[in-house]
Chains A and B, each alone.
Chain A
Amino acid sequence: MAIIRFAQHTGTTRDVPLTEGSNLMDLARANAVPGIDGDCGGSCACGTCHVIVDAAWAARLAPANAEEERMLSMAVDRQPHSRLACQIIATAALDGLRLQVPEHQF
């Protein structure tokens, strides 16, 4: 089964089934992944679905657009491969993608 792997700051991980066409915030919420609030319901307007993409995967994703970039620029713990999970749409090619959930969302 295709999965997306969410890793917590505590070291635990959770694999959630990959549903093509869903965004990764929705997948996380549907599977109760801790630390992904998704307060704006995926509208790229709250920044509470912040995740850090594994370096090896980062280049394989479509880059963040200007709107996502702006919300990310307000994140407190911004990393080089920070993304908003709601702006990444699951495709079969993302099977095995590993995302770090930051300790805090802001």
Chain B
Amino acid sequence: MNNTTQQWVDEKLTRALDKVQATVPMDLQIKGMHLFQKARRRVLKRPPPLPLVETPLPAVDSLPLERIDVTSPFLYRQGVWKSYFQRLRDEAPVHWQGQTPFGGVWSITRYDDILAVDKDHERFSAEPFIIMGETPDGLALEMFIAMDPPRHDRQRLAVQGVVAPKNLQEMESLIRSRVQEVLDELPVGEAFDWVPRVSIELTARMLATLLDFPYEQRHKLVFWSDLISGSTEATGGTSTADEIFEGIPEMARQFAQLWHDKAARLAAGEQPGFDLITLLQSSPDTRDLIKRPMEFLGNLTLLIVGGNDTTRNSMSGGVYAFNKFPKEFAKLKANPGLIPNMVSEVIRWQTPLAYMRRVATQDTVLGGQFIRKGDKLVMWYASGNRDERKFDQPDALIIDRPDARQHMAFGFGVHRCMGNRLAELQLKILWEELLARFEHIDVLAEPEIVQSNFVRGYSKMMVKLTRKAV
């Protein structure tokens, strides 16, 4: 099928879609989008992407440079990521691989090069996506993480107040009491899975707090977020486009409802809260955001997706890291004042999001390599955070590392993580409350690692707690 036909099909279908955009409720729009994509695939005879099948990855030493592909969603799970990235950092820090399941990509693997690309939004655009592949066709949620200035700035400034330090002070005691509840209910002296009981549960509570989402339904936030970030086409994960399009209309419906309920409660004289919806409704720029559905949905989705896997996996990652580096845990218990620096170090060590993607806006040169306009670049934070040119003994967890805060897990430049203070606060509270209760948190078996080239996380981790002697 040639390009012109494809364009013609797209134009016809898009025009039909535009007509309904202005009038139809959000959830129905997304359902419509799904039918649109199915129709498009049928007309263009394009097969849906296949789920990826795991096979053992070769040892990196056995490969010539031009055959190294770091985009596999199994790289991290199979434990070979360190050797792959080390080889690239040493021998080809700006490395082209033309044949990946996600198209051709430049991998940027050294700390300084990543920083240079992340800072330079004029040469390296975050549009249209920041994940390696494409999001399922037509799921065009407008998220400012994948927009360039000035559009990015306007949208970010409208919402960032909700996670700004001043607002967090207001939420801290609520977050803490919700952490305490979870920890007080944990079984002591017996095996249980840390991931759902602690990491997922606490993250769900935090997100529900942030959005003032119905508390009993908080697990839906996690479900939607997992669905979206697990897209096969986007990150090599396990959710298919059909599953995503089936789940998202419900999310759209509930978010719209959340907006209208809040407006009604505020109108009825309820005290304004510190949540995102209140914030949006009380600012002149965003009071009518609901009338820009894709932007409204995009912003809410970005917040739950951005805050979900990341915080969750830092919570699991910290426990795992302390089991690998038990002396560091002893150091922490002896000196809880190290908690803030330890939190940064755990985030560096884990690097919950492996990368962000950019597209070159012009022909350019980076690290001696000629990069063409339109080429995709992947900034591998996971590698930059283990760059021996930047960090001493980069693979070791060292909780009093003086430059721990200089990790790049939050990115740099205009897109630097908006939720970074919230993430730090949530982790700080967790560790303060853990130290107050438990002497040991033993990991009983190697954790299970999720399938993704983007999220570096744990799906299962069996642990056993020992109570602190009083």
List the interface of chain A (C-beta within 8 A of B). 37-41, 43-47, 67, 70-71, 73-74, 76-77, 103-106
Q: Which residue of A lies closest to B390 (CB)?
A: A41
Which residues of A are found within 8 Å of B413, using beta-carbon distances?
45, 71
| Beyond A76-B160, A106-B160, 18 additional pairs, beta carbon < 8 A | A37-B405, A39-B405, A40-B412, A41-B406, A43-B115, A43-B119, A43-B412, A45-B118, A45-B413, A67-B119, A70-B153, A74-B157, A76-B161, A104-B164, A104-B166, A105-B165, A106-B164, A106-B421
Q: Say if the beta carbon of B414 comes within 8 Å of chain A.
A: yes
9 A-B contact pairs sorted by A residue (CB < 8 Å): A41-B403, A44-B119, A45-B118, A45-B119, A45-B412, A70-B153, A70-B414, A76-B161, A104-B164
Q: Say if the beta carbon of B416 comes within 8 Å of chain A.
A: yes
0/1 per residue, B437-456, Cβ < 8 Å to A? Answer: 00000000000000000000
Give Cα A39 to B404, complex, Å.
9
Give Cα A4 to B410, complex, Å.
30
Q: Which residue of A lies closest to B111 (CB)?
A: A41
Q: Say if the beta carbon of B367 comes within 8 Å of chain A.
A: no
Give Cα A76 to B157, complex, Å.
8
Q: How many chain B residues have a CB neighbour from A under 8 Å?
A: 21
Which residues of B are found within 8 Å of A74, using beta-carbon distances?
153, 156-157, 160, 414
Which residues of A are found within 8 Å of B414, using beta-carbon distances?
70-71, 74
Nearest CB of chain B from residue A35's CB, rounded to whole Å: 11
Contact (Cβ within 8 A) A76 B412: no
Of A70, A77, A103, most buried by chain B (CB within 10 Å of CB) is A70
Contact (Cβ within 8 A) A106 B165: yes
Which residues of B are found within 8 Å of A46, using beta-carbon distances?
412, 416
Contact (Cβ within 8 A) B405 A104: no
Of B149, B161, B164, B405, most buried by chain A (CB within 10 Å of CB) is B405
Give Cα A44 to B414, complex, Å.
10
Which residues of B are found within 8 Å of A38, using beta-carbon distances?
405
Contact (Cβ within 8 A) A39 B406: yes
Contact (Cβ within 8 A) A45 B164: no
Contact (Cβ within 8 A) A47 B416: yes
Give Cα A39 to B414, complex, Å.
14
Give Cα A89 to B115, complex, Å.
21
Q: Which 6 A-B pairs have the closest CB atoms?
A: A104-B165, A45-B412, A76-B164, A45-B119, A39-B405, A45-B413
0/1 per residue, B324-342, Cβ < 8 Å to A? Answer: 0000000000000000000
